Amino acid sequence: MYFVTVSELLGTQGEEIAREVSKSLAYPYYGEKELQKAADEMGFLKDVQELDEKGPGFLENFFSEKPKVYLDRLQSVIYEVARKGDAIFFGRGSQLLLNSFGCALHVLVTGSMEKRIERVMGEKGVEREMAEKMIERSDRDKRGFFRFAFGKDWLNPDLYDLILNTDKLSVDSAVRMVVDAARSEEIKACGIDSVYLLGKLSLHRKVESALLDAGVTDQHLFFNVEDAESVQLYGFTHSLEEKENVERVLKGIRDIRNIKNDLTVYNGYLSGL
């Protein structure tokens, strides 16, 4: 299986390019609507809808674990979708989530501010001032989302294999370049090890989000995802009730078949350990 991730600056026709690449390669396309459908099937639709492609407000991020829960569940959805096989992902941090996979091609579609403004004016039917504001907000939101989610600059060229400037390139030309690159010998098919890793990554995000959502944030409690169905708990809890509650939270995750609860009940003072 193969993956292509397409990221765009607003007003560069990146979404149109991604959809056309999907048709040319006959790969399923996953944009916002498609990922929300997948999230709904996993029971995460509300969480994914809450996390738009922008960083959370400062106070919400500081006082609440909710943004982290939403982020974990969005990432789990992307990993689950990737496990199914060939796919085109449009945005949502997919270029970073799948960055370590040799079977993924990462594309950034860019362009000059002037051309972007012209396109947004034409596509949205708005005046120049409004188009500029829309572009500024989009750029700011994406920058904030990536800093929150990954601590990285989303426009770092090192994140991409192919950067396309649509000031001169037509959609058809850009699509041909992406398709040729995706079919090149350098992009190797994902093996069974990649499918296995995607399963573990997805379950890790599910466990992390479930614990955060349940208010289980003890710094002495740890977990290890052994495979796509098995989780080991280890570390310390303050009581047997707490130990059982943590296990109960994990039993609520439908993909988990095996839980190895190696948590130790410790009634002393833990912070010095």
Residue 187 pLDDT grade (very low, low, confident, very high; cuts 50, 70, 90): confident
Instruction: Assign residue 43 a region (left: φ > 0; alpha: ψ between -120 and 50; beta: otherwise).
Output: left
pTM across the whole model: 0.88
Residue 190 pLDDT grade (very low, low, confident, very high; cuts 50, 70, 90): confident
What percentage of residues in the chain have a pLDDT greater than 90? 74
- Domain boundaries along the sequence of the chain: 3-182, 214-265
pLDDT in tens, 24-79: 999 999 999 999 999 999 999 888 888 776 667 755 666 678 888 999 999 999 99
Q: What is the DSSP letter of 31?
A: S
A 10 A CB-CB count for 168 gives: 9
* Res 63: pLDDT: 63
Q: Which amino acid makes up residue 257?
A: R
pLDDT in tens, 72-110: 999 999 999 999 999 999 999 999 999 989 899 999 999
Check pLDDT > 60 for residue 232. yes
* Res 273: pLDDT: 47
Give me the DSSP letters along 163-175. Answer: EEETTT--HHHHH
Q: Which amino acid makes up residue 224?
A: N
Class of domain 3-182: alpha beta
Give me the DSSP letters along 193-245. Answer: HHHHHHHHHHHHHHHHHHHHHTT---TTEEEEEEETTEEEEEEEESSHHHHHH
